[in-house]
Structure 1
């Protein structure tokens, strides 16, 4: 069951966030790009193999932006607090450079969040389906018993972005997520107007 959070305000547009947003080349003077009618979250897009590497916050690729928009759209559809969406974006930057990776990099992991089939995140196909992976991260999917972000609500709202991401990811390197919090916030500021996507 989806829990609606009371704290769903958009992130405050601070000077530091504006500078971060400018650094990733996503917004100009703090104004988000208009919603795109061309967003294509088709099954082919959601399962596309993207074994690519690298994250340049000053120049994200079209694929990385499209994947960020999907993560945001799924969050919007399930009324996830912006803080939670930022944590998802930070996790995906760290885990996969915002690419849907099929290559095995950590045991049985794959997809945007490098969810491992061996620890219950789903089948190989499910962890590499961007929609299912995002739902699993947020804790709004029925294909995995693993706890997602909503299972820690509302407490995760009081955590840092990095600590919220670690609640879900349970990484051996928990400090990495917070390092990308500002870049993830900039992505949300630039693309937070994407239409909610239930799939």
Structure 2
């Protein structure tokens, strides 16, 4: 399969910079009771997987950023899914895949003998060149697979066991079998694919995407944060599951955060090259997919990465003892340092615990306080961590010198709006 990364930027396909979503979710076993939007009237927000959206391929609207060829291709992918009796989620996976493989262009060539919207290869038995240049055939082959006399059945989406509960990008990769470094590329098209689907079907975005996860994500509006900007404290406590993980991280999918006792949908990013040794960082957490790295939400990830780059430039390479915690993990902890369930910024994926600083790791064991109220440790590393934390939207807890957080404990009392980058 051809992987068009640079070309996808050249073609004006993704019009929402920085808001493309990542993988919507396996929705790990720790997500029961995820919040839904009380304001939403979309029945899909409380139902199971929604049926396919209907699109009139012969009467397509004009949509900014897309050529008529691209709109026709998208409509034919959606129509193929509908005609096969597949749900809306399958249509989304198909559209995301074609966005990545061909930028919704019916290409005459590609990597080796790849052709068409899905860059399927005649030599592997997907069909003839003529067939694969037919968008309807190509989409049907992607969904249903192809029977061949030479190599038997080539698996399509519906042949992949458990595709309905896989993350969107995992399901696409299971069909396309890309090189390992490209397996996560489909995720970046999710948000734009949702929007395109809704516009082609002529329904509100909420109705087009509300049921595309196993719980209720998608029923409330995503946080609108420009690339490079620090989110406000208010935004850090809102649904951010549709905010993509940045490059240099592994997208672990959507999860349930917790703030002020409420369940908040967030997206988790594992920060490549970090070492986190706590029980919540290892493979027992997140349904077994934690990597022993720092895991934070997608709003925080780019700012933590900038912080990490800065402190490393100062000569320090911190390790960590805790990052994101699920509700179950938070409930399993006990002791004087631990917040009650739903009230820890670790549960929002917005706090990290730094190991190796001098001093006893007990609350109120501060060596004084910074002007912003941060609990201090008397060490040069802490000074670097604090300085660059302030630059990148984070402060230390006011009772714990090791706990760096982006959703700031008592933010209003500490005068920390973080409306824009420092």
Q: TM-score range by the shorter chain?
A: 0.5 to 0.7
Q: Secondary structure at the match of 1:112?
A: coil
**Structure 2 partner of 1:146:** 154
More strand by share: 2
Is the contact between residue 147 and residue 154 of structure 2 (CA under 8 Å) also seen in structure 1?
Answer: no
Q: Secondary structure at the match of 2:107?
A: coil
Is the contact between residue 57 and residue 76 of structure 2 (CA under 8 Å) also seen in structure 1?
Answer: no
**Does the C-alpha gap of structure 1 residues 126 and 86 become closer, same or farther in structure 2, counting only changes over 3 Å?**
same
1:95 counterpart = 2:101: yes
Distance 1:127 1:35 in 2: 22
Aligned residue runs from structure 1 range 78-93, under 5 A: 78-93=84-99
**Does the C-alpha gap of structure 1 residues 118 and 141 become closer, same or farther in structure 2, counting only changes over 3 Å?**
closer
Is the contact between residue 121 and residue 145 of structure 1 (CA under 8 Å) also seen in structure 2?
Answer: no
Q: Secondary structure at the match of 2:154?
A: coil
User: Bigger shift: 159-168 or 58-67?
Assistant: 58-67
**Structure 2 partner of 1:188:** 197
Aligned residue runs from structure 1 range 93-172, under 5 A: 93-102=99-108, 104-139=109-144, 142=147, 145-153=153-161, 155-172=162-179
Is the contact between residue 145 and residue 155 of structure 2 (CA under 8 Å) also seen in structure 1?
Answer: no
**Does the C-alpha gap of structure 1 residues 134 and 186 become closer, same or farther in structure 2, counting only changes over 3 Å?**
same
CA displacement at 1:145 relative to structure 2 = 2.4
Is the contact between residue 162 and residue 176 of structure 1 (CA under 8 Å) also seen in structure 2?
Answer: yes
Question: TM-score, structure 2 length as denominator?
Answer: 0.33
Q: CA RMSD in A?
A: 2.9
Question: TM-score, structure 1 length as denominator?
Answer: 0.66
Q: Give the paired residue count.
A: 150
CA displacement at 1:131 relative to structure 2 = 1.2
Q: Secondary structure at the match of 2:112?
A: coil
CA displacement at 1:7 relative to structure 2 = 4.8
Is the contact between residue 126 and residue 146 of structure 2 (CA under 8 Å) also seen in structure 1?
Answer: no
Q: Secondary structure at the match of 1:145?
A: strand
**Does the C-alpha gap of structure 1 residues 126 and 161 become closer, same or farther in structure 2, counting only changes over 3 Å?**
same
Is the contact between residue 39 and residue 66 of structure 1 (CA under 8 Å) also seen in structure 2?
Answer: no
Aligned match for 1:9, one of 47, 50, 68? 50
Kindly provide the CA deviation profile for residues 78-137 of structure 1, in whole angstroms up to 9, marking residues without a partner as x: 1112111111001101111101111x2111100000001122211111211111101100
CA displacement at 1:8 relative to structure 2 = 3.8
Distance 2:56 2:188 in 1: 29
**Does the C-alpha gap of structure 1 residues 126 and 65 become closer, same or farther in structure 2, counting only changes over 3 Å?**
same
Distance 2:129 2:111 in 1: 13
**Does the C-alpha gap of structure 1 residues 158 and 108 become closer, same or farther in structure 2, counting only changes over 3 Å?**
same
Distance 1:164 1:191 in 2: 23
Distance 1:193 1:175 in 2: 29
More helix by share: 1
Q: Secondary structure at the match of 1:109?
A: coil
Q: Secondary structure at the match of 1:105?
A: coil
Q: Which structure 2 residue ranges, 5 or more long, are not aligned?
A: 1-46, 204-422
Runs of 4+ in 1 over 3 A off after TM superposition: 34-40, 140-144
Larger Rg: 2
Q: Secondary structure at the match of 2:153?
A: coil
**Does the C-alpha gap of structure 1 residues 166 and 60 become closer, same or farther in structure 2, counting only changes over 3 Å?**
same
**Does the C-alpha gap of structure 1 residues 79 and 7 become closer, same or farther in structure 2, counting only changes over 3 Å?**
farther
Distance 2:66 2:160 in 1: 30
